[in-house]
Structure 1
């Protein structure tokens, strides 16, 4: 099975490329991370049904990742993770001040190590406060850009956040025409400071293969967290511009390049899923490739 990203053409269903956020993600870092999440989900699902997967990430060319599927998988290895694929969700609410259990931390570290991805788990107040301040500055800068707000508003208007049609339209108008950066900065900074742990995934290199690997690692971390009753919340704004990304790297004294930042902890109350894209919304050609053209 091949999944290729294609630009939208008249009369054609949107492809992966149409979900690239050009203003928020100019270097496609998040685009490649997302493909890595999709690739790992495919690998886990294939393994559950006794199929083995080999993932290839060519260094260049239109194909970002190729998944070769064949017999020989272990259907028992990732059963718990497979069962969480449809349940995993992103939680934007404040987390309880309950430490992440040590066994979960150890499992998460083991998962990311399999991909040559490093994990920095920030639990101390001072560095979390510094990250929160950097997040607030990123929010104000992003929301100060009209092009960024138009892009965000377009996705909100399409219902990407799960709002009903009237609320989605109102949200689109508000985000597009009002600079709500101050409000978002205060809200997201508070979310970071209140979380028991803020996690950063990093890689030695910054090529697209490394980013795909970070996405694969994050998908497994998110599923492990879900299986343990924890929630995750990616917060990407700091990493969306090179200068702030380097500031975070220096702040945490990282040798590697930060690829993904997210909150990890326990949330109270009922879970709320945003809608999943239907399978028919993705352009598919026979084979297992996620790419860009």
Structure 2
């Protein structure tokens, strides 16, 4: 085992804590497609090609978003150690796997919000059951939208019932297209076996059909820009939204199908007159019956191992 060096003014034990926290970020099939390289002066974030999903994620968009989620966790952990991180994206074009470099940007006490989100990381859980019937209050919705805005993204809450019905139709169509693809089924089987056979996202069929129509909250996450840096940044925004939901006691699930199939993703963009295609679709509500509302097993997030 390679010893962990001191870096950014932190001890090896503190650096190990940083990496453990970053590694708790959500990713498709829990494939954790990132790697952190620690030197005496910086921490480097790399994507891992061997953990790519060429069928479900042919252009690597979701992989870069997952790396962004891990980066957000690392930033929170640094704030927890009173280190203000500065991040440089793609600092060396000769190393295409290198996504970002994190440096020491000064010493600063964490804000109450940063502490709240940091404490929510180990509380993240996965809940695919229909949520409770109680609507998510407006102040919680505002907090979720603000979380996206703070990371340069936009969270659009779908309130209109006809739009929700159309969204359901698109999710069902995307799921049918994916499950009809033998290559997708083979990739799903391979990664499901590695992750213990846990489904990767909420199924649109069966119980999923009813829940999409009746969930108190459905939301689309979009980025203001396009490109690889924008995908890393929107991954940070997604993780901030998920942690904000977790800290509020909300259960959150991703509907991945509709943004993974190019045709339905574009239809979704046109449906909501978005300038950019949506990066994620979220189902948000209070935990369903039998789910505790407080304590370590309460807070549930969207990304599934």
TM-score bracket for the superposition, by shorter chain length: 0.7 to 0.9
1:94 to 130, 135, 158: 130
1:42 to 74, 79, 89: 74
Residue in 2 that maps onto 1:150: 186
Q: Deviations over 1:84-135 (max 9, x none)?
A: 1011123211112221111211112222112221111112211111111100
1:75 to 107, 110, 123: 110
Residue in 1 that maps onto 2:51: 19
Is 1:254 the counterpart of 2:274 in the alignment? yes
Q: Is the 8 A contact 2:87 2:101 kept in 1?
A: yes
Q: CA RMSD in A?
A: 2.7
2:223 to 203, 221, 227: 203
Deviates more, 1:39-48 or 1:55-64: 55-64
* Cα distance in 2, alignment partners of residues 209 and 139 from structure 1: 28
**Larger RCO, structures 1/2 (Cα 8 Å, 6+ apart):** 1
The SS at the match of 2:122 is coil
* Shift in CA distance, 115/125, structure 1 to aligned 2, threshold 3 Å: same
* Shift in CA distance, 91/253, structure 1 to aligned 2, threshold 3 Å: same
Correspondence 1:23-172 to 2 at 5 A: 23-58=55-90, 61-77=96-112, 78-161=114-197
* Shift in CA distance, 19/73, structure 1 to aligned 2, threshold 3 Å: farther
Is 1:191 the counterpart of 2:191 in the alignment? no
Q: TM-score, structure 2 length as denominator? A: 0.74
Residue in 1 that maps onto 2:255: 235
1:245 to 265, 268, 285: 265
Q: Deviations over 1:57-99 (max 9, x none)?
A: 2286332222223541322441111111011123211112221
The SS at the match of 2:163 is helix
Q: TM-score, structure 1 length as denominator? A: 0.77
* Shift in CA distance, 76/257, structure 1 to aligned 2, threshold 3 Å: same
The SS at the match of 1:93 is coil
The SS at the match of 2:284 is strand
| Deviation at residue 208 of structure 1 after TM alignment | 1.2
Residue in 1 that maps onto 2:240: 220
| Deviation at residue 206 of structure 1 after TM alignment | 2.1
Number of matched pairs: 249
